[in-house]
A and B are shown apart, each in its own frame.
Chain A
Amino acid sequence: MLTLQFIPYHEIQDLDSSKRIQKIMKAVKMNKIVLMEGRLKTHEEAQLIRKTMEEISDEFKGIELSVIDNSSKDVKFIRKLKDIFVNMLLGERHGLTIIGPAKIVKEIKQDPDKIQLLTEDIKSSKKRN
């Protein structure tokens, strides 16, 4: 059975980078697929990869990570400016981040507009799309 955990932006907005990563890692290590509102900052994404590498063991093989965020693509300058202003006030809440344990999420295929999760059931090892 797959468990999806939704993390709304308000749950992470006041956390510092290490706490955010800790929260995500805790859920992922419990074999949950995290759907997070918004996205991590670029240095937090790198930090998440570092943390993942530190945690890798025979049981925990790592993560699959993907972000859907089309908010700044192909939009006019005024809209971009508006987005920057809104981000400054409310934080990076646009977009959606998907993070899953590698032993369940085999692959995340990402086109700009859609995401496909290729998962594997731990018990049956049967691939689903």
Chain B
Amino acid sequence: MIKKFRGMWKRFLNNLFGKKKQIKLGLYGPPNGGKTTLANKICVDWLGEEMGSVSNIPHETREVQVKEQIKIKSGNKELAFNLVHTPGIATKIDYEEFMKEGMKEKEAKIRAKEATKGVIDSIKWLDDMDTVVVVIDSTIDPYSQVNITIIGNLEARKIPVLIVANKVDLKKSNIKKVQAAFPQYKVIGISAKFGKNIDQFYKELFKLTNQ
């Protein structure tokens, strides 16, 4: 509660005195939604280098990663931010699931341990965000409690949210279902992998940050 209040107070002061130099833009969501692919797309587009490695095995990102000083442009506008790429938030982590992907027991257990720490860190970082993009896999059911909890916590902290329905290149993608699940938020369908609708995504970032 105190942390939440401190975060809101910090944002209020920053807005009041215009001291905000760099916006912290967080990428949040459940594992395997495509956060890393989107982070890489942003970094390649504007910095010319990738941010992290992508994998089909869940919890590939197990540490919070920050890329500073990303500047994106749209027309004559420029938006500068620090990109905070967070590990996927989950309510369960089973090392045996990693073993099914071909990992040895020891390696799977280490990955599970690191993944639990990653989830804890992602939740801790919520208080430091100025703006958040929630990345959801549009091919799966959006009515998950993880999605609802993440968005509910951002709403409680008065942090602006953009929902990205990722993987629209896949047949099973259903943006309408994501929109129906979160009708009070702007939902934009993209394919981070193939760059589909990515220009629209950048435009929405400007709107989200009031730039």
Return the contact of A65 from the options B91, B95, B152, B156 (Cβ within 8 A). B91
Return the contact of A61 from the options B92, B117, B120, B126 (Cβ within 8 A). B92
Would you call A62 and B90 a contact (CB within 8 A)?
A: yes
Would you call B116 and A56 a contact (CB within 8 A)?
A: yes
Return the contact of A111 from the options B117, B120, B126, B143 (Cβ within 8 A). B143
Q: How far is the CB of B63 from chain A (nearest CB, A)?
A: 14
Would you call A62 and B91 a contact (CB within 8 A)?
A: yes
Question: In chain B, what residue has the closest Cβ to A74?
Answer: B183
Size of interface on B: residues with Cβ below 8 Å to A: 28
Q: Say whether chain B's binding surface is mostly helix, strand, loop, or mixed.
A: helix
Return the contact of B91 from the options A43, A64, A67, A110 (Cβ within 8 A). A64
Return the contact of A102 from the options B94, B116, B141, B143 (Cβ within 8 A). B94
Per the bound structure, the CA–CA distance linking A53 and B112 in Å amounts to: 10
Is A109 at the interface (CB under 8 A from chain B)? yes
Would you call A56 and B93 a contact (CB within 8 A)?
A: yes
Would you call A102 and B156 a contact (CB within 8 A)?
A: no
**Chain A residues closer than 8 Å to B92, beta-carbon distance:** 52, 56, 61-64, 102
**Chain A residues closer than 8 Å to B1, beta-carbon distance:** 43
**Chain B residues closer than 8 Å to A42, beta-carbon distance:** 149, 152-153, 155-156
Is B119 at the interface (CB under 8 A from chain A)? yes
* Interface hub of B144, B149, B153 (most chain A Cβ within 10 A): B149
Is B11 at the interface (CB under 8 A from chain A)? no
**Chain A residues closer than 8 Å to B103, beta-carbon distance:** none
Return the contact of A112 from the options B120, B143, B155, B156 (Cβ within 8 A). B143
Would you call B143 and A43 a contact (CB within 8 A)?
A: no
Is A58 at the interface (CB under 8 A from chain B)? yes
Would you call A45 and B120 a contact (CB within 8 A)?
A: no
Interface residues of B in 153-178 (CB under 8 A from A): 153, 155-156
Would you call B120 and A46 a contact (CB within 8 A)?
A: no
Interface residues of B in 118-152 (CB under 8 A from A): 119-120, 123, 126, 141, 143-146, 148-149, 152
Q: How far is the CB of B49 from chain A (nearest CB, A)?
A: 31
Would you call A66 and B145 a contact (CB within 8 A)?
A: yes
**Chain B residues closer than 8 Å to A53, beta-carbon distance:** 93, 116-117, 119-120
Query: Interface digits, A35-57 against B, CB 8 Å rule (1 contact, 0 not)?
Result: 00000001101100110111010
Per the bound structure, the CA–CA distance linking A108 and B153 in Å amounts to: 21
